[in-house]
Amino acid sequence: MTRTSYHHGALRDTLLAACLRLIETEGIGAVSLRRVAREAGVSTGAPYHHFADRAALLAALSTQGFQLLGNEVTAARAAADTPLQALTALAETYVRFSREHPGHFRLMFRPELSQPDKHPDAMDAGDAAFAVLADTVADCVAAGLLPADKADTIAVAWWGLAHGLASLWLDGQLEKRSVQLGTEAPALVDDIMRTFTALIAPSA
């Protein structure tokens, strides 16, 4: 099989992989349908069989990223022994995801690029990933560990804290600070999330 005779589904996956490589090596600004086609080794017209424009390609990659994240946090929640342990595990998984999937992570929270208003799949996938966190907070509320009237606030605060740590780690700042504190980034993330847990659920 030549690189220009991909099966219909395989071509789409190949284009997404090529786009991801470009983002990780040269940044989002390097992405164009023509450049992605060249990276994938296909004709310049091939991407248009799947993506109407650059935004559609980026939206598909963003959707893929949120689906991967959703799968990982779902698994982390299922593996935890208690709701509070699940909250910590979700944060640690979120931060690790940013390191293991930097191309996806840098794109997923750039709506001006993926245009979720025109490509609702990306928004739906993002909402589904967030729902895992919201459900875990709800588990904590049901167990009497967190106040019901603050569930939504806590979920957003938890996301904000995890996202901030993920961004700091991705940019190299968390590792730098960890060295200064005489520890390692994973241990620092764990300590931060456990400290936050103790603050919001001191009687647990």
- Say whether pLDDT at 6 is over 70: no
Burial class (CB in 10 A: 0-12, 13-18, 19+), 100: exposed
What was the pLDDT predicted at 178? 95
Question: Which whole-number Å values give the CA distances from 112 to 9, 50, 107, 116, in the listed order?
Answer: 27, 20, 10, 8
Considering only residues 139 and 194, tell me which one the structure prediction assigns the higher pLDDT: 139
pLDDT single digits (tens) 150-159 = 999 999 999 9
pLDDT single digits (tens) 159-194 = 999 999 999 999 999 999 999 999 999 999 999 998
pLDDT single digits (tens) 15-63 = 999 999 999 999 999 999 999 999 999 999 999 999 999 999 999 999 9
**pTM score > 0.75 for this model?**
yes
Distance from C-alpha of 108 to C-alpha of 105, rounded to nearest angstrom:
5
- Say whether pLDDT at 204 is over 80: no
Report the mean per-residue pLDDT for the chain.
91
Question: How wide is the angle at C-alpha 54 spanned by C-alphas 51 and 55, nearest 5°?
Answer: 90
Question: Which DSSP letter does residue 49 get?
Answer: G
What was the pLDDT predicted at 203? 66
Residue whose entry in the numeric block shows the structure tokens 């995890």: 162
Confidence of residue 91 (pLDDT cuts 50, 70, 90): very high
- Say whether pLDDT at 9 is over 70: no
User: Contact at 8 Å (CB) between 69 and 26?
Assistant: no
What was the pLDDT predicted at 188? 94
Considering only residues 96 and 9, tell me which one the structure prediction assigns the higher pLDDT: 96
If DSSP codes are grouped into helix, strand and coil, which group holds residue 101?
coil
* Ordered structural domains, the chain, with CATH: 1-51 (1.10.10.60), 54-200 (1.10.357.10)
Considering only residues 146 and 3, tell me which one the structure prediction assigns the higher pLDDT: 146
CA 25, distance to chain mean position in Å, is 18
User: Contact at 8 Å (CB) between 23 and 44?
Assistant: no
- Say whether pLDDT at 8 is over 80: no
- Say whether pLDDT at 64 is over 50: yes
What was the pLDDT predicted at 2? 40
